[in-house]
Structure 1
């Protein structure tokens, strides 16, 4: 029983991410197609039966490229979104600096939300609850394994800390999580464990 975490393809780095409604760049679309082709050619190795994705456009576009190759429809779930950065979502960096100077993810207190958004603590709790639900649904066979979960870098980073049983905060260091990288979580005797990290061989 496995969960394959995938970060969405590349988006425009000139804008704030979070709950941005901006989509992929041309490079991001190419990366997503490459991953889709790779999973199609290695279908017997991965045995993916379910695709779940964040419903933000950059994740949706990534999922669409993959589901076309695997012939598996995606389910789009709001709970797997990146952190809600409120009014800053999708804003040009220069505009954000002007209107909200000093407001950055790692500058917030754990209980302090982005203007119009959520706090790091709320973000962490949302992702932990979503992961618990997903694991339980797989174990109870409400969701068919194996699962490909297309989400965001901040989400995957939280799951690294959760699975390693380490405390997370918005000031914690960030694991290597490249665009369209895959990170494998496997069911073991005592729970779930990471077995493959930041796999990007499809981009070679």
Structure 2
């Protein structure tokens, strides 16, 4: 049985400022780096075989901190980078609501149908991400695999693996360095953990 650890990157400066970040490269904040260190300590107990990361710096830096701590190299997968939020990137939610009210309203109520100007749709993100996830899982049977990615991308992967429609996108949350665990059994996939941030309890 293969086990997939889907993990969101640590906090960034834009997370703290509540700005929308997609494919823009935004650095980890000092808190984000500390979160990654706590994550690394947690994963050291998990017998991890491989670490993969999005090519965006906030994910790669998180993965690098983990890899250095547990003695594993990081392999880059551009396909699991964050959703391209197009014209929304760098804007706060209030700014998006003012400038793109109708589309923002659709994003909040029927996100699977929303087409953000200059960006991707949820289905496009899911299709590019799940293709590489399935390839990695098939290539590495009976291994514990870490993938450090981004909130939106992670949610689309989880929904696909659990046969959940993307219309439910808003129904789950992904915090910084949250761990999601999915077991790939012969008959079906099993969600073992969702948005687990217990490793950050001493940080709060």
- After TM superposition, give the deviation of residue 37 of structure 1 in Å: 2.1
Trace 1:157-196 onto structure 2 (pairs within 5 A). Answer: 157-169=155-167, 172-196=169-193
> After the TM superposition, which parts of structure 1 deviate over 3 Å for at least 4 consecutive aligned residues?
90-113
Query: Normalized against structure 1, the TM-score is what?
Result: 0.82
Aligned-residue Cα RMSD (Å) equals: 2.4
Match of residue 32, structure 1, among 32, 36, 53: 36
Q: Which has the higher helix share?
A: 2
- Unmatched 5+ residue regions in structure 1? none
**Structure 1 pair 112/76, CA: closer, same or farther in 2 (3 Å)?**
same
Aligned to 2:5: 4
Residue pair 2:39, 2:66 contacting (<8 A) in 1 also = yes
Listed one character per residue, the Cα deviations across residues 5-40 of structure 1 (whole Å, up to 9, x for unaligned) are 111111223321111211212111110111112223
**Corresponding pairs, count:** 195
Aligned to 1:75: 75
CA–CA distance in 2 between the matches of 1:96 and 1:110? 18
Trace 1:1-204 onto structure 2 (pairs within 5 A). Answer: 1-11=2-12, 12-13=14-15, 14-40=18-44, 42=45, 46-91=46-91, 100=100, 102-104=102-104, 105-106=107-108, 110=112, 113-139=115-141, 145-169=143-167, 172-204=169-201
Query: Normalized against structure 2, the TM-score is what?
Result: 0.82
